[in-house]
Amino acid sequence: MPINYYIFLSIALFAIGIVGVLTRRNAIIIFMCIELMLNAVNLMLVAFSKMHHLAKAGTVATAGTDGQLFVFFIMVVAAAEVSVGLAIIVMMYRNIHSVDVNFLNRLKH
């Protein structure tokens, strides 16, 4: 499969995530769009890893392993990030009884 297809698919998913972050006001939906962007990057890394494996298959047997391990570490960090982020959103809901990010403008004044 040509690598260009994977690049364009990842760009499309990443741009959809960006549009979601910019147009929605619900903090949980914004958080989900960030997860979507992380997954777009993961897909790109796996595709590049397989591309590298194909290019170096004759000389190095395990070429491209690093890309897949980076994806594994991104998943680890994303899991930790989600637990802390959802705790922050729950605390925000408890204090202002809403998850609308436009209420969080105290730094503006």
Site for another protein in 35-74 (CB under 8 A): 35-36, 39, 42-43, 46-51, 53-55, 57, 62-66, 68-69, 71-73
Q: Which run of H or E residues covers position 67?
A: helix 65-96
Distance CA 54, CA 41 (A): 20
Q: Does 96 bind another protein (CB under 8 A)?
A: no
**How many chain residues interact with another protein (CB under 8 A)?**
74
Q: Does 107 bind another protein (CB under 8 A)?
A: no
CB 64 within 8 A of CB 53: yes
Cβ neighbours for 83, distance < 8 A, ≥ 6 positions apart: none
Q: Compute the least distance from the CB of residue 78 to another protein, in Å.
A: 7
Residue from 58, 59, 80, 108 in contact with another protein (CB under 8 A): 80
